[in-house]
């Protein structure tokens, strides 16, 4: 047997051609051993082409702003440094909120003096008491300034500017002192009324009440008095002596509301369990008259003497 050198098939020794591939054994070189079959070389795979990366554009640097020229010398001193605006302080915001709350409390007191759902803050009653006293004092004192200037005008025409100015200055100083004493006199009278209502309520109801909370309830029944006294003060500033009768009417209305609030607070919402209310109110009124007589004797005598010297 021999092997075909072209395809490697086994053939008979006498075969002239390969029965498998047709190879002519006559053309094969004579060797001592059978030739090995030729292996067809396999083409090497060509490497896949790599994509060429596109060139990335270089980032353009952002233009830097040029620094502003710094002032030198006197120009630098003339340009004041701008300070940042200071934030609103908490105390100012709290003051605004307190003012809004007090205003809402006043409006609620005008709408429903004894049946309001807004009890108010602890110091609202004291605030109203001071405002009422201040406005009433202004309503009484401001027309006195107008009257003093009216009296000083003829003096100036008769005796000259120097004497007229001295009279006007003396009168104005006396009125300022009168207004100062009048403020404390009215404040003492209002305080006496409230203390009397506080004591009467304790005697009638038999229960203790917080002094400042009850003052707030007392003043809420007089919320309209704040506006009436303010209106009287405005009239005193605007018209002076010409509206003195209207000012007196407003002050009389203030006193009426004060009296009603006094009795409402004195009796209280509860059924009386202590002394009979009639006797309590009689006793309280007697005490109020006595205390007011003492107050007027202390402040009223000096006030009356100053008014005598003034007019």
- Per-residue pLDDT of 210-232, as tens digits, reads 899 999 989 988 888 999 999 99
pLDDT greater at residue 54 or residue 26: 26
pLDDT at residue 169, rounded to an integer: 73
Q: Is a pLDDT exceeding 70 seen at residue 239?
A: yes
Q: Is a pLDDT exceeding 90 seen at residue 261?
A: no
pLDDT at residue 137, rounded to an integer: 93
pLDDT at residue 109, rounded to an integer: 85
pLDDT greater at residue 39 or residue 169: 169
Q: How confident is the model at residue 73 (pLDDT cuts 50, 70, 90)?
A: very low
> Quick one: average pLDDT of 129-137?
94
pLDDT at residue 284, rounded to an integer: 75
pLDDT at residue 195, rounded to an integer: 93
Q: How confident is the model at residue 35 (pLDDT cuts 50, 70, 90)?
A: very low
Q: Is a pLDDT exceeding 60 seen at residue 46?
A: no
pLDDT at residue 236, rounded to an integer: 87
Q: Is a pLDDT exceeding 90 seen at residue 259?
A: no
> Quick one: average pLDDT of 45-63?
54
pLDDT at residue 184, rounded to an integer: 93
**Using one digit for the tens of pLDDT, what is the confidence trace for 168-196?**
677 778 778 888 999 999 999 999 999 99
CB-based contact 225:256 (threshold 8 Å): no
pTM: predicted TM-score of the whole model, two decimal places: 0.59
pLDDT greater at residue 83 or residue 179: 179
pLDDT at residue 285, rounded to an integer: 67
* pLDDT mean across residues, the chain: 75
Distance CA 291, CA 286 (A): 9
């Amino acid at each position: 047997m021999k092997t075909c050198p072209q395809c490697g098939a086994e053939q008979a020794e006498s075969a002239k051609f390969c029965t498998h591939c047709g190879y002519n054994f006559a053309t094969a070189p004579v060797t001592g051993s059978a030739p090995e079959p030729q292996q067809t070389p396999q083409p090497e795979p060509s490497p896949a082409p790599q994509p060429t990366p596109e060139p990335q554009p270089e980032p353009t640097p952002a233009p830097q702003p040029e620094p502003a020229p710094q002032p030198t010398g006197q120009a630098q001193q003339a340009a004041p440094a701008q300070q940042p605006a200071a934030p609103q302080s908490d105390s100012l915001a709290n003051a605004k909120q307190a003012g809004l709350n007090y205003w809402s409390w006043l409006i609620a007191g005008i709408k429903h003096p004894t049946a309001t759902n807004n009890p108010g803050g602890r110091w609202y009653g004291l605030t109203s008491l001071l405002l009422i006293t201040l406005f009433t004092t202004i309503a009484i004192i401001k027309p006195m300034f107008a009257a003093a200037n009216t009296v000083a005008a003829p003096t100036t025409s008769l005796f000259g500017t120097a004497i007229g100015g001295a009279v006007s200055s003396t009168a104005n100083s006396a009125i300022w002192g009168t207004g100062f004493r009048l403020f404390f006199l009215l404040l003492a009278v209002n305080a006496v009324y409230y203390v009397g209502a506080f004591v009467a309520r304790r005697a009638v109801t038999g229960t203790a009440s917080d002094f400042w909370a009850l003052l707030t309830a007392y003043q809420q029944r007089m919320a309209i008095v704040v506006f009436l006294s303010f209106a009287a003060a405005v009239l005193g500033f605007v018209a002076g002596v010409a509206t003195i009768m209207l000012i007196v009417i407003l002050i009389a209305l203030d006193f009426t509301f004060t009296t009603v609030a006094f009795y409402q607070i004195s009796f209280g919402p509860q059924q009386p369990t202590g002394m009979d209310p009639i006797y309590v109110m009689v006793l309280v009124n007697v005490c109020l008259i006595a205390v007011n007589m003492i107050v007027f004797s202390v402040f009223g005598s000096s006030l009356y003497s100053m008014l005598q010297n003034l007019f």
